[in-house]
Amino acid sequence: MRRIAPQIHQCLPQAAQPGNSDSRTGVTLTEVLMSLMIMSIGVSAVAVLFPISVLRSVQATQMTNAAILKYNTEALIQMRPELVFDPDGDGNLEEHIGRQGEDRYIVDPAGYYTMTDLGFTYLANPADPADPAAVRQFADWFGSVDTNADGVPETFMGLPRFDGGIRCATRTGALPLGLRPDPNAFPDEARGLQALAATATKLGDGWVTVADTFADGFLMSDSTILAAPSYGAPESVIGVQISSDVDLVDVPTSDLTVPGIAGSRVIADPEAHRVVVFSLDGSFSVSYPLLAIDTATNTVRWGETTEDLNSNGYADVRRLPLQFVDPVTDTYNVGRVILQSNREHDFNWLLTVRRGPDGDARGVDVVVTFNKAISPEDERAYSADFQTSGAGVDPFVINVHQDGGLVAPGGDVAEPFLKRGGYVLDLDNARWYRIREYSDLTTVIVNGVSAPGYQITLETPVVENSVGGKAVFLPGIVDVYPMGSLRLPKNF
């Protein structure tokens, strides 16, 4: 018989032929390591994108909120032009026109009462006397220096700072100058002013959920609790009863947080706490100020009957809308209930105002900040030259001394808060400039004095000269929005 096995063996691929020394079924260690290296490069490149995307997302959120607050502030100024033209609210429109240092100022309610809360002195009389510069104190100036190098900033006549008329709006017969912002002698009144200033300047749409639950019943205006009250019932729904599993003892309300003296509140409820009520299907919701909580019955209350819980001068009934009425049974139904409080860290505004001799505002800037928990260190003024022209002068570059004669607490040299994309304020001219870049610590000349400092490149050229002036680097600024000029209202 003819043998065919050798022929079949010759037809097999070389790598599959038995006994071939080149045949293999795996990969070498070198190939594994090369694959791991290539994969690690790709994974590392992707991993780098995550923190960048998070940072960009945070920046986008901040810019969006800042833009919203800017539009809110512009609308507020249209409704209340006295914020620009009568920043202390004393009714005197002439004192801020054409006077040295008085035609350029800061309107900063939150910053003003932040400083007074730290124990720094303030203007005793918000209605300025003939010489306001003679009596203004630390909180009434924006910008500070430490001339004796003891680490404590002294009063510096930089830009006058006003509270936007917050204090004057609280004047009564018993308090002809309004509530007193002294946190030591009058802590309740001081806290009331701080709450009013924060409410007036913050964005106010940042909320923290304290409790998330469901309603078990309804609190009626006659203090009874019903499971499903009728829409046509004579009593009104002024709150809800929630599950007893939810502990309401530590839930803040205006009853607990609004300062008061001898049971009487010093200000009206700033509505820093709210209750959000949803319909059964979750398609509709409504929010009300959270006025009070009764832990004995586990009820939360948003409405009033005859009492004035929020001290606004009248009773707020606040009935539930028709969307909460079942059209079949004609009774109220509520689903989810959320109790919330304002975020502690929020967006705030302040204004820089430049007035002309005719009384018109030549320029108004809305400055939006985040987390207005500033300290005197944040408002330190540094020696700086702002120059528009001259031999060897670059209008895009300013020189700033490292300390400008200032010493930080502990004896350390004070250094400005420098940040690419941050802002610097020309204190003499009340103008903000955005920082493009800055040098490392070097030797710079300010007003003819050579000392350690920085060269700062601005995104826009210097508009007004200020040789030997002062610069402030306020942290927490999200953006500065120029509003342009505003005319003094004729009927104002």
Task: Write out the H or E segment, with its range, that includes residue 486.
Answer: strand 477-486
List the pLDDT tens digit at each of the 492 positions of the chain: 445 445 544 544 554 455 555 555 667 888 888 888 888 888 777 777 777 777 778 778 888 989 999 999 999 999 999 999 999 888 887 777 765 446 889 999 998 888 887 766 666 655 554 444 445 677 888 887 766 666 566 655 678 889 999 999 998 888 888 888 888 888 888 888 988 998 889 888 788 899 999 999 999 988 899 998 998 888 889 999 998 888 888 888 876 777 765 567 788 888 888 999 999 888 899 999 998 899 899 999 998 888 887 777 788 888 888 889 988 899 999 999 999 998 877 899 999 999 988 888 999 999 999 876 677 778 888 989 999 988 889 999 999 998 755 666 666 777 888 999 999 999 999 999 999 999 999 999 998 889 899 999 999 999 999 998 899 999 999 999 999 999 988 776
| 231: its two tokens | 């829409």
The 8 Å CB, 24+ separation contacts for 224-228 are 225/297, 225/299, 228/329, 228/331, 228/332, 228/333
Residue 404 CB neighbours (<10 A): 21
User: What secondary structure letter does DSSP report for 169?
Assistant: G
Work out the angle at residue 437's Cα, subtended by the Cα atoms of residues 435 and 439, and round it to the nearest 5 degrees: 125
CA 322 to chain centre: 36
Q: CA 287 → CA 6, 220, 347, 460, distances in Å?
A: 91, 18, 21, 45
